[in-house]
Structure 1
Amino acid sequence: MSKAFVRESEVDEDEELVEVQSFPGFKNYMTPAGHRALREEFERLVKVERPQLVETVAWAASNGDRSENGDYIYGKRRLREIDRRLRYLTKRLESAVVVDPREQTQTDRVFFGATVTVRDLDTETEETWQIVGVDEADAGKGKVSWIAPLARGLLKAELGEVVRIPTPGGVRELEIVDIRYEASS
């Protein structure tokens, strides 16, 4: 098979990721916990993973023929991945606007960082979501990005208000039953 079909691209993919997640005109809001998580990942990559990998690659390079040296080939590839991630994290941390939800004064409305409990008026089920930054979003943990349709529908709504959220399955009507501003985990 031709190498053209199997060779991995060495194009700077983090540039593409940053453009996708840094929408023009939008700020890179994040909670203190999200900022701390990115900073910890950056520190771990710089102080632990990358130095260990550089040592492994240097050892593998000293073994001779690099063309069939799995440790060397894998190590160089992983180094590129780590360097790409470090550039991405650097850009995201530099552009971060950290917003502490506990400092919110208008607690009867939904703003960034709020933990919102809603009741679906069709099914009478309740869901709780925290509105967080793009890099922190994790639906499995109840964290939704502030630019997601759900969050955008909830932002600036008041306690007791019914909001209409368009979804692929149709419009959902959600009543806001609780708004909390607390430290995220």
Structure 2
Amino acid sequence: MSRAFLKNESAEDPVVIPARAPLPPGATNYVTLRGLALLQTELTELENERMQVQLIEREDTERARQLALINGRIANLNQRIATARVVDVRDHPRDEVRFGATVSLHNQAIEAKQANQKLTIVGVDEADASQGRIAFTAPIARALLGKRVGETIELPAKHGTNVLEITEINYEE
């Protein structure tokens, strides 16, 4: 049987560093102030984890493997922080959707309460669709950018097209 189907890893297997959320080639790594704080918190937690692993007194391949994984994650995170460009939402026009905006939308095809939703346009590392935070690289975010209250966007849906009307634009500082 192929090793791909086995969950057992050995200490001799190569260390695979999990990839961060991708940025399109050449894209600027825009972040909110909250997003930068989250990255810095994650870095502190990884550095603390590395210290704990280093305190283990035995020298074995599993410890070395853990350190290699943590060091790789820290390197990826440091690179992401170094390229982060914080967007100050105070400079944005309040009547136009830009990075950092929280946009209230009404789905014109639905008559129920769930026809309304709020989405905040954030950096790729901060994105969490379950919390209404979408990356600026997402198709819906790209469709919203530059729009104003009362304008609509059309998005392909399972059964046709959703027409979403922008009902409100807010910027948290």
Cα pair distance change 1:51/1:120, threshold 3 Å: same
Paired residues of 1:149 and 1:166 also in contact (CA < 8 A): no
Deviation digits for residues 69-120 of structure 1 (CA, Å, limit 9, x no counterpart) = xxx62x333222211110111110111110122332x111100000000000
Q: Does 1:103 align with 2:94?
A: no
- Secondary structure of the structure 1 residue equivalent to 2:35: helix
Q: Which runs of 5+ in 2 are unaligned?
A: none
TM-score, normalised by the number of residues in structure 1: 0.79
Name the aligned partner's letter for residue 173 of structure 1: V
Q: What is the CA-CA distance between 1:3 and the residue it aligns to?
A: 7.5
Q: What is the CA-CA distance between 1:42 and the residue it aligns to?
A: 0.9
Name the aligned partner's letter for residue 30 of structure 2: Y
> How far apart, in 2, do the equivalents of 1:182 and 1:86 lie?
29
TM-score, normalised by the number of residues in structure 2: 0.84
Q: What is the CA-CA distance between 1:181 and the residue it aligns to?
A: 0.7
> How far apart, in 1, do the equivalents of 2:2 and 2:144 lie?
51
- 2:58 pairs with one of 34, 57, 60: 60
Q: How many residues align?
A: 165
- 1:132 pairs with one of 105, 119, 122: 122
> How far apart, in 2, do the equivalents of 1:3 and 1:116 lie?
47
- Secondary structure of the structure 1 residue equivalent to 2:155: strand
Residue 69 of structure 1: aligned partner: none
Q: What is the CA-CA distance between 1:21 and the residue it aligns to?
A: 1.4
**% of aligned pairs identical?**
37
> How far apart, in 2, do the equivalents of 1:181 and 1:110 lie?
9
Cα pair distance change 1:51/1:177, threshold 3 Å: same
Structure with greater helix share of residues: 1
- 1:151 pairs with one of 128, 138, 141: 141
Residue 123 of structure 1: aligned partner: 110
Cα pair distance change 1:60/1:119, threshold 3 Å: same
Residue 150 of structure 2: aligned partner: 160
Q: What is the CA-CA distance between 1:169 and the residue it aligns to?
A: 4.9
Q: What is the CA-CA distance between 1:168 and the residue it aligns to?
A: 4.9
- Secondary structure of the structure 2 residue equivalent to 1:34: helix
> How far apart, in 1, do the equivalents of 2:104 and 2:95 lie?
13
Q: Which runs of 5+ in 1 are unaligned?
A: 67-71
- Secondary structure of the structure 2 residue equivalent to 1:21: coil
> How far apart, in 2, do the equivalents of 1:145 and 1:169 lie?
25
- Secondary structure of the structure 1 residue equivalent to 2:96: coil
Cα pair distance change 1:77/1:167, threshold 3 Å: farther
Name the aligned partner's letter for residue 141 of structure 1: Q
